[in-house]
């Protein structure tokens, strides 16, 4: 059937979803861009009552653990260090301070839009040490690897990377193993899958019997993906499917993966609210250790007890919806965020706050 416009097609997909869903389904998205797209389009209010959408640990800023934040804040206080970071990290509160507060106290923290900007800073400031704060999932890492390669070619010895990069498949496995977390299917992150393809996610259907569908970012993409999930359940054939065919191939982007593997190796990483997950982070390989800011600046931090209890950990596991946090809107707002999920533009709390969805 042909549809003259997206609105008409969305109505058609919604009608199919309402008609075809047979059992209650809880679907988790693990991508901040999906979180925002779902909130902005108001999809939750239009879906069948049997379908529940949860936001998972899909925002790299939000999943950064307090201890890692405090360590980065300690690093920003080091003499002659310029800390280069994406803007979202500036206002994320650690247990004592934030990078923005440190900047106001004199730390040299600069907002950059890419690792290449950080390289330029290093070239322009030879008497300072420029540390690029690497925060992101598989999608971000190839550009960091490219910057590193360029730094090596340029002989830039005052550039290093503090890697807080994280990998998505291991955290999905942890959620599936968690008896508290009830998920029937995943909307797979479209951007991450452009790099990884579908292979690293096949365990979800093969070992756990759950569907997962790689979705694009339009409302109709998401609805199509949800319909594919419903049909997988109806037909009893859980698998990894690609709805986002215009960008994702089953094999992903092997060149980008090789690039990641050339410079980085998997290591254990701390995830907010979830804890340490083996092989879920990326660290520079030993042969590039001299570009590893963690080794170049072995700072320590003492975790302090937070005055206000943020429920980001539970929100990231899908155990709480943002408005179920007692601080939501009353104490915690984008202007005065208590936790990272309210700071980041891709955070669940910020998306719920901005688009006002309660369901």
Residues of this chain that interact with ligand SF4 (CB under 6 A) are: 310-312, 315, 322, 325, 327-328, 332, 338-339, 341-342, 349
Instruction: For residue 271, give both structure tokens.
Output: 């995830």
In angstroms, give the least distance from the CB of 359 to ligand SF4.
Answer: 17
Q: Which helix (H) or strand (E) holds 81?
A: strand 81-85
Which is closer to ligand SF4, CB of 34 or CB of 91?
Answer: 91
d(Cα 314, Cα 254) in Å, to the nearest integer?
34
Which one, 53 or 341, has the nearer CB to ligand SF4?
341
Toward ligand SF4, which CB reaches closer, 69 or 310? 310
CB of 357 to ligand SF4, least distance (A): 14
For the bound state, the minimum distance from the C-beta of residue 272 to ligand SF4, rounded and expressed in Å, comes to 10
Place of tokens 């179920």: 324
Query: Looking at beta carbons only, is 56 or 339 nearer to ligand SF4?
Result: 339
Nearer to ligand SF4, 1 or 335 (CB): 335
Closest approach, Cβ 93 to ligand SF4, in A, equals 9
Asked if 309 and 203 count as a contact pair (C-beta separation under 8 A), the reply is no
Closest contact distance (angstroms) between CB of 140 and ligand SF4 is 22
Interatomic CA distance for residues 168 and 7, integer angstroms: 32
- Please, where are the H alpha helices in 155-282? 168-177, 190-196, 202-208, 219-235, 254-263
In the complex with ligand SF4, which residue's Cβ is closer, 29 or 108?
A: 29
For the CB of residue 331, give the shortest distance to ligand SF4 in the complex, in Å. 7
Those residues with Cβ within 8 angstroms of residue 343's Cβ, 6 or more apart along the chain or in another chain: 61, 88, 91, 92, 93, 334, 337, 350
Residue 306 C-beta: closest distance to ligand SF4, Å: 10
How far apart (Å, rounded) are the C-alpha atoms in residues 287 and 150? 16
Q: How far from the centroid of its chain's Cα atoms is residue 295's Cα?
A: 25
What residue is closest to ligand SF4 based on CB?
A: 339
Tell how far CA 190 is from the center of its chain.
12
Closer of 78 and 314 to ligand SF4 (Cβ): 314
Question: Any alpha helices (H) in 52-196, and if so which ranges?
Answer: 66-76, 99-104, 115-124, 141-154, 168-177, 190-196
Beta-carbon contacts of residue 124 (< 8 Å; ≥ 6 apart): none
Look-up of token digits 């601080």: 327
């Amino acid at each position: 059937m042909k549809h003259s416009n997206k609105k008409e097609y969305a109505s058609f997909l919604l009608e199919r979803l309402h008609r075809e869903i047979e059992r209650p389904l809880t679907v988790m998205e693990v991508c901040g861009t999906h979180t925002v797209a779902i909130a902005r389009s108001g999809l939750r209010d239009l879906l069948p009552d049997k379908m529940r959408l949860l936001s998972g640990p899909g925002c790299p800023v939000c999943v950064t653990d307090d201890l890692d934040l405090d360590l980065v804040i300690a690093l920003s206080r080091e003499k002659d260090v310029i800390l280069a970071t994406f803007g979202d990290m500036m206002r994320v509160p650690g247990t004592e301070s934030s990078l923005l507060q440190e900047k106001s106290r004199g730390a040299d923290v600069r907002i950059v839009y890419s690792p290449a900007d950080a390289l330029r800073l290093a070239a322009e400031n030879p008497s300072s040490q420029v540390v690029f704060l690497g925060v992101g999932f598989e999608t971000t890492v190839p550009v960091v690897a490219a910057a590193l390669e360029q730094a090596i070619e340029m002989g830039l010895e005052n550039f290093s990377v503090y890697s807080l990069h994280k990998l998505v498949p291991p955290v999905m496995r942890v959620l599936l193993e968690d008896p508290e977390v009830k998920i029937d299917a995943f909307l797979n992150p479209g951007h991450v899958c452009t790099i990884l393809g579908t292979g690293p996610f096949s365990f979800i259907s093969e070992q756990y019997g759950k569907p997962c569908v790689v979705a694009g970012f339009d409302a109709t993409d998401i609805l199509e993906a949800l319909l594919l999930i419903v049909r997988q359940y109806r037909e009893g054939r859980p698998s990894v499917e690609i709805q986002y065919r215009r960008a994702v191939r089953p094999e992903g982007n092997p060149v980008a993966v090789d690039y990641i593997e050339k410079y980085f190796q998997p290591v254990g990483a701390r995830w907010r609210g979830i804890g340490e997950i083996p092989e879920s982070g990326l660290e520079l390989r030993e042969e590039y250790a001299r570009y590893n800011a963690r080794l170049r600046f072995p700072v320590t931090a003492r975790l302090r007890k937070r005055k206000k209890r943020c429920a980001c950990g539970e929100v990231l596991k899908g155990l709480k919806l943002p408005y179920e946090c007692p601080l939501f809107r009353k104490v915690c707002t984008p202007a005065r965020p208590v936790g990272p999920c309210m700071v980041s533009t891709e955070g669940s709390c910020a998306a719920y706050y901005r688009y006002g969805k309660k369901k």
